[in-house]
Amino acid sequence: MAVYLHEEDLPEGALGPGTVAVDTETLGLVTTRDRLCLLQISDGSGDEHLVRFGPDRLYTAPNLSAVLADPARIKLFHFARFDLAAIHHYLGVMAAPVFCTKIASKLVRTYTDRHGLKDLVRELLGKEISKQQQSSDWGAPSLSEAQQDYAASDVRYLHAMHAILVERLAREGRTEHAAACFEFLPTRALLDIAGWADRDIFSHE
C-alpha cells in the first residue's frame, strides 16, 4: 500500500478499471469561495493517489476528469453532496454515477446518529482513523506526511464499506431508496452551487 502525490493531474494509467473511491480537500466549506486544493482517488487495490492543485491554476486535469466523468465507473464518496459540488465547480465535470456511504449509513444504521467517516470505519471495519488534520491548511505550498496520510485515509476504506453497506441496504429493503437518493445527488450539488444550499425546497415553508 502506497500514497502517491501528483501535481495538477493524475498520471495516465494510474488506476485500474472499475469503481473508484473519491474525496476532496478545500480551503473551507463554501464551494464557490474556497478553492479545491486536493483530490484523493483510489481504485481499491491498496494505493491512494492524491492530486494537488496550486493557486491560480486552470484546473485542466484531462486524465483525472476522464475518470471522474466515466459513466461506467461508480464513484464512492462519503458525503458526496459536497465533493460533487467542488469537483463540478472547479474541474467542470459531474462525477457520476455515485454511491454515498454517508447516505447509505443513514438509511441502514438508524440505531445511531453517528454517521461520520471515523464512526463508520470503526463500526464496519474495526479500524481507527485520525481526523487531526481535517482542519489543516490544504492550500499550503507543500503537504506534510501527516496531511497526505489523512487525505489518503478518506478513500482507503470506502470500497470495503461499500460492499458491507450494499448488503445491509438489500437486507433492509432500502436499495431502491438509496439508488434514488444517489441519482439525485448531482442535482442537489448543482442546487448548492446555484445558491440553494441552506434551503429545503421540498419543505412546506
* Interval 7-31: pLDDT, tens: 999 999 999 999 999 999 999 999 9
Q: Choose among 140, 154, 132: nearest CA to 40.
A: 154
Is residue 147 pLDDT above 90, yes or no?
Answer: yes
Tens digits of residue pLDDT in 152-204: 999 999 999 999 999 999 999 999 999 999 999 999 999 999 999 998 898 98
From CA 34, how far away is CA 59, in angstroms rounded?
14
Phi, psi of 6 (to 5 degrees): -120, 155
Q: Are 66 and 41 in contact (CB under 8 A)?
A: no
Q: Which three cell numbers stand for residue 29?
A: 466549506
Q: What is the value of pTM for the model shown?
A: 0.95
Q: Choose among 37, 38, 45: nearest CA to 21.
A: 45
- What CATH number was assigned to the domain covering residues 3-7+16-196? 3.30.420.10
pLDDT band at 113 (very low <50, low <70, confident <90, very high): very high
